[in-house]
Structure 1
Amino acid sequence: MANGSLTSDWVPAFAAVPRSAFLPDLMWPFDMSTGQTVTVNRADEPAVWQRYADSDTPVVTQWDDGRHTGTAPGHVSTSSASMPSVVFGMLRDLDVHPGHRVLEIGTGTGWNAALLAHRLGAGNVVTVEIDEAVSSAARTALERRGFPVRVVHGDGARGFPEAAPYDRVIATCGLRAVPFSWVEQCRPGGVVVAPWGTHYSNADAVARLVVADDGTSASGRFTGPVEFMKLRAQRRPPVKHSDYVMGTVADGDESTTTVTEDRFVAGQFGPLQFALGIRVPDCACVVADKRDGARPVWFYGLSDRSWACVMFRDGDAARVWQSGPRRLWDETESALRWWEDEGRPGHERFGLTLTAEEHRVWLDDPDNTEACAPKY
């Protein structure tokens, strides 16, 4: 996760613009100590509300695209306030300077836009939000705090060409493809900061892309891991297990693997799952909870009905079942070995280059794209 000390140029903004000023009375922070999402209402627990508001934790502010009712957490979180450390890390990557004009994709609560407005002036910030209720609440919060930022209710995938060009573009939503419209609306030499990843998992990373002098491409390295709600137009449709496995795993071809659970199930924000997603395209991986010493991991093909399951069990060799035209576990195991052979590269060794036609992920050097084939 993005972290680090707050640099001096951002201290005044973070001191003057507290996150709590942009949070609703009813919110759902993620409690780091329990690993659970909790319900907090300021009217009932003002001190608890304030503690979570001031802590380095993500806070859900909307469920189920606004269809959620009641106080219990909903099914799918669809708007939130990010961890302050993540917000700072991405603003640090953005590297703004006086006079810069910034386009933000994903207004959310409006806090990020307010920080930018404090630093650059409200007239230099445009923020786009697809959810009308979220954009309206953010606009109200920004105006109440004295930041009349231009808040646009619209699809952030198209940017906001009416106010282009921008010096910087920042997205606060997860992407599976960076819209090239953002590059087109950014000045040559400008910077696009956006979380990017694959449908394999939610293990995304922040890409910091510099727009080429001729405006035909943007390229740069990843700076660190993040996990964001996805751009609504790029959400992965839910994977329905029964569409793949009609009976039991015994219907698949069975084998074993020497790969161990510790070797494969890395930490949530480690680089392995990010790297596997690059090497195993059109695949969704679901790591189940461990019970009675056993942990199943499922793989579902997104372009066909191929599936695989590896069952890690304490004290035994892992068993594998695969079915369909793709051998998804074989692909994944090969990708794991590639990652290990390359020295277990972290996020910072990977990079992304995009043009109007394609995304190319590379390792160490922009010309080294074959190591991260296929293209997207």
Structure 2
Amino acid sequence: MTAAVDVRARLVDRLEASGVLTPGWRQAFLDVGRHEFLPDVFWASTGDGYERCDRARSPERWLELAYSDVAIVTQWDDGTSSGQQREPTSSVSMPTMVASMLRDLDVHEGHKVWEGGTGPGWNAGLLARRQGAHNVVTVELDAVVAAQAAANFRALDIAPTAVVGDAAHGYLPGAPYDRGILTCSVRHVPPALIGQIRRHGVLVLPFAPLFGGGAVARLTVTGTTVTGTTATGPFTGSSAFMRMRQQRYQAPPVDDYLPGDWPGDAVREYTTLNPLNVVDDWLASFVVGLAVPDLYYRRSNNGGSGMTTLWLFDTGVTSWATVDFVDGASRFEVRQSGSRRMWSEVEDTVRWWTAAGRPGFERFGLTLEGGEHRAWLHQPANPLPSPRGQD
């Protein structure tokens, strides 16, 4: 047994023992090696940052990381990086995340599957092995990444329909699909994605509100109305994926909110809610993002003063707020300006969530109808309440 086959089998055993790899996927994971889709140089997200690994220099470590339960970055800054990497823009996801999303997809024999975000191609390769390549369509926006995936497919004699295009538009020539899966996060689901899934079909995708946090949504298409296709379903667990390129938010300059010197006409108040306990908690920030989808924040450290300022803004450029965190303080200074009270909306949401028992990711869900999103708790008939200041 070769080293690659051995470490692959051990990974598959671990995934199966953890419960994320369902029996129907075992053979595909054994047959389609993760290392076959990785470049000679990659960056593994090990928890202490990114470890650069060069196959030529460290072949054993390279193979070890290839079959470790870590995400592996294969491209930075949309391919424009010249040694100063800032943002990962293409990767191979953690094996546990890949397996759990494929479990959520719940494919059956003969199902036709659409994938958005080919990346290096491992996920599409697994799907092609399980479903047959003729039943798999995968779409990748980046032509260079798509070419790398195509070369990987050829090397393994796997031939899904691989398209260079915008995953936000789905792929209409192959529609309708029984299943769809997205491998980048979105803050609003493009209507084309659910519109190309059959009724009772399933779309699995990472959903990440603008404010922060993220979770995998499993949406079932329920029908069609005059306003478009409808779908609903729960979140199945937390996730952290790169944002779909078309949905990266470019914030306006602060001067658009605050012409002149701070604090302008802002009202000074105080809060006992620690702002860092909100933004540094993946679940808390996710819940706030679901309830206030047009809210985003920036953080600034004020030199050596030991104070951190959280700036909050709405995408409509109508309102802003600041909250000053000082270590050891029991209350924190707040400034709010505009037609809405952005920090008050955060407080309202956290207060409601706490009163509900701080439910986890799996207790929330999402309904799509007419291009609109409605988040809910426990069941679709129980939408999240709107904080003060929202219509």
TM-score by length of 2: 0.86
1:305-333 C-alpha deviation (Å, 9 max, x unpaired): 53222122222222222233322111111
Distance in 1, matches of 2:351 and 2:122, equals: 42
Answering whether residue 339 of structure 2 is matched by residue 325 of structure 1, we say yes
| Partner residue, 1:279 | 291
Give SS of 2:150's match: helix
Q: Distance in 2 between matches of 1:335 and 1:214?
A: 32
Structure 2 residue 58 is matched with structure 1 residue 48: no
| Distance change in 2, residues 1:28/1:292 (3 Å) | farther
* 1:68–1:198 distance in 2 versus 1, CA, 3 Å: same
Counterpart in 2 of 1:206? 216
Work out the CA distance in 2 between the residues paired with 1:113 and 1:21.
13
Please tell me whether residue 355 in structure 1 is matched to residue 389 in structure 2.
Answer: no
- State percent identity of aligned pairs: 43
Q: Distance in 2 between matches of 1:289 and 1:109?
A: 37
Q: Does 1:218 align with 2:231?
A: yes
Corresponding residue SS for 1:38:
strand
Scaled by the length of structure 1, the TM-score of the pair is: 0.90
The 1:352/1:140 distance shift into structure 2, 3 A limit, reads: same
**Equivalent in the alignment of 1:148:** 159
Distance in 1 between the 2:166 and 2:346 partners?
A: 35
User: Match of 2:274?
Assistant: 260
Secondary structure (helix, strand or coil) at the match of 1:256 reads strand
Given that residues 20 and 103 in structure 2 are in contact (C-alpha distance below 8 angstroms), is that contact kept between their aligned partners in structure 1? no
Inter-partner Cα distance in structure 2 for 1:239 and 1:329: 19
Q: Contact 1:363/1:372 (CA < 8 Å) preserved in 2?
A: no
Q: Report the Cα distance in structure 2 between the residues aligned to 1:289 and 1:302, rounded to whole angstroms.
A: 23
Cα distance 1:191–1:5, how it changes in 2: closer, same or farther (>3 A)?
A: closer
Distance 2:77 2:178 in 1: 34
Match of 1:105 among 106, 111, 116: 116
- Cα distance, 1:8–1:248 mapped onto 2, change above 3 Å: farther
In structure 2, how many angstroms separate the alpha carbons of the residues matched to 1:264 and 1:212?
34
For residue 137 of structure 2, the aligned residue among 118, 126, 137 is: 126
Q: CA deviation at 1:265?
A: 4.6
Unaligned runs of 5+ residues in structure 2 are 1-14
The separation in 1 between residues aligned to 2:111 and 2:260, in whole angstroms, is: 58
> Which runs of 5 or more structure 1 residues have no equivalent in the other structure?
none
Give 3-state SS (helix, strand or coil) of 2:345's partner.
Answer: helix
Letter in 2 for 1:330: S
The secondary structure found in structure 2 opposite 1:367 is coil
- Range that drifts further, 18-27 or 315-324: 315-324
**SS at structure 2 position matched to 1:371:** coil
Structure 1 residues 42 and 292: alpha-carbon distance in aligned structure 2, compared to 1, 3 A threshold:
farther
The yes-or-no answer on 1:298 pairing with 2:311 is yes
2:89 is equivalent to residue 62 of structure 1: no
Per the alignment, in what secondary structure is the counterpart of residue 125 of structure 2?
helix
Match of 2:29 in 1: 14
- Give the counterpart of 2:148 among 110, 127, 137: 137
* Structure 1 residue 73, shift from structure 2 partner: 4.9
Deviation at 1:263, TM superposition (A): 4.6
Is the 1:361–1:375 contact (alpha carbons within 8 Å) kept by the matching residues of 2? no
1:92 and 2:106 aligned: no
Distance 1:161 1:213 in 2: 18
Letter of the structure 2 residue corresponding to residue 66 of structure 1: G
> 1:361, 1:369 within 8 Å by CA — same for their partners in 2?
yes
For residues 277-326 of structure 1, the C-alpha deviation after alignment (integer angstroms, 9 at most, x for no partner) is 12223111235679775443221222115322212222222222223332
Count of aligned positions = 368
CA spacing shift, 1:259–1:65, aligned 2, 3 Å: same
Question: Which of these residues, 315, 338, 341, is aligned with residue 328 of structure 2?
Answer: 315
Report the Cα distance in structure 2 between the residues aligned to 1:81 and 1:242, rounded to whole angstroms.
39
Decide which moves more: 247-256 or 166-175. 247-256
Do 1:306 and 1:326's aligned partners in 2 also have CA atoms closer than 8 Å? yes
Query: Secondary structure, in 3 states, of the residue corresponding to 2:385?
Result: helix
**Residues 178, 62 of structure 1: CA spacing in aligned structure 2 closer, same or farther, 3 A cutoff?**
same
Contact 2:276-2:325 within 8 A present in 1 as well: no
- Tell me the CA shift for residue 221 of structure 1: 0.7
Rounded Cα–Cα distance in structure 2 between residues aligned with 1:43 and 1:73 = 22
Q: Which amino acid aligns with 1:345?
A: P
Look up the equivalent residue of 1:285 and give its one-letter code.
Y
Which digits, 9 at most, give the CA deviation of each residue in 1:333-365, with x for residues without a partner? 111111112221211111111123322211112
Deviations 1:108-163 (A, max 9, x none): 01000001111111111000011111111101101211211110001111111111
Cα root mean square deviation, aligned? 2.6
CA contact (8 A) 2:257 2:317 kept: no
Q: Is 1:166 the counterpart of 2:177 in the alignment?
A: yes
Instruction: Spell out, residue by residue over 1:77-103, the C-alpha distance to the aligned partner (whole angstroms, 9 max, x if none).
Output: 211111111111111100111111100
Q: Does 1:190 align with 2:201?
A: yes
* Farther-moved stretch of structure 1 (271-280 vs 289-298): 289-298
* SS of aligned partner of 2:24: coil
- What secondary structure is seen at the aligned counterpart in 2 of 1:10? helix
Mapped partners of 2:204, 2:97: distance in 1: 12
